[in-house]
Amino acid sequence: MENYALILVGTVLVNNIVLTKMLGLCPFMGVSKKLETAFGMGAATTFVLTLAAGASSLINEYLLGADYAYLRTLSFIVVIAGIVQFTEMFIRKTSPVLYQVLGIYLPLITTNCAVLGIALLNVQAQHTFLESLFFGLGGAIGFSLALVIFAAMRERLEAADVPAYFKGSPIAMINAGLLSLAFMGFSGLVK
């Protein structure tokens, strides 16, 4: 149990997928303009990432094994795309309201490199199925956390008096760097 808690804290704070591992930067910069959309994207990614981490772990263990390790990237991408599609259909049926909110972000997750990144990192770290699941969940929560924090910062930036040359993306990049530096402070948290 302690192990799983450690994985969760480790992936959310210490090895934050976006701010430390530098994965999934595209949605991090792209959908962080508004807090509302950041929440939506975070929720959708959390769902998909956790499922994808579990599914890819199962596939790696029972289908590919060591012999067909070279099929990992290919098969993981196929599985991720499938899960995203499935999630989209499922949400559309069960909760039209949620679909309205998440709708456009769901297909975007297929190309989120954090999803594939987590799946491959799971293999690299030789996680078991449960560990993979927690690793995925932690990574996803970390992603959502970074996204929401960053979106909140950018909303503030809109009102701030930024020099003309730094307006928009440049100051957002600088902010992302600072946020990343701040997260480095967590590196001493888990020994």
Partner 1 sequence: MLTAILIMSGLALVIGVILGFAAIQFKAEENPLVDKIDAILPQTQCGQCGFPGCRPYAEAISRGEADINRCPPGGDEGIHRLADLLGMDAKPLGDGQAQAKAKSVAVIDEQRCIGCTLCLQACPVDAIVGAAKQMHTVIAKQCTGCELCVAPCPVECITMEALTEDITQWKWTYPRYDIKNSALSTDR
List the x/- string, 72-111, binding to partner 1 by CB under 8 A.
Answer: --xx--xx--x--xx--xx-xxx-x---------------
Q: Closest CB to partner 1 among 6 and 120?
A: 120
Q: Does 59 bind partner 1 (CB under 8 A)?
A: yes
CB of 75 to partner 1, least distance (A): 6
SS (H, E, C) the chain: CHHHHHHHHHHHHHCCCCCCCCCCHHHHHHCCCCHHHHHHHHHHHHHHHHHHHHHHHHHHHHHHCCCCHHHHHHHHHHHHHHHHHHHHHHHHHHCHHHHHHHCCHHHHHHHCHHHHHHHHHHHHCCCCHHHHHHHHHHHHHHHHHHHHHHHHHHHHHHHCCCCHHHCCHHHHHHHHHHHHHHHHHHHHCCC
Q: Does 22 bind partner 1 (CB under 8 A)?
A: no
CB of 110 to partner 1, least distance (A): 13
Q: Does 44 bind partner 1 (CB under 8 A)?
A: no
Q: Closest CB to partner 1 among 19 and 59?
A: 59
Task: Please give the residue ranges that form the binding site for partner 1 (CB under 8 A).
Answer: 59, 63-64, 67-68, 70-71, 74-75, 78-79, 82, 85-86, 89-90, 92-94, 96
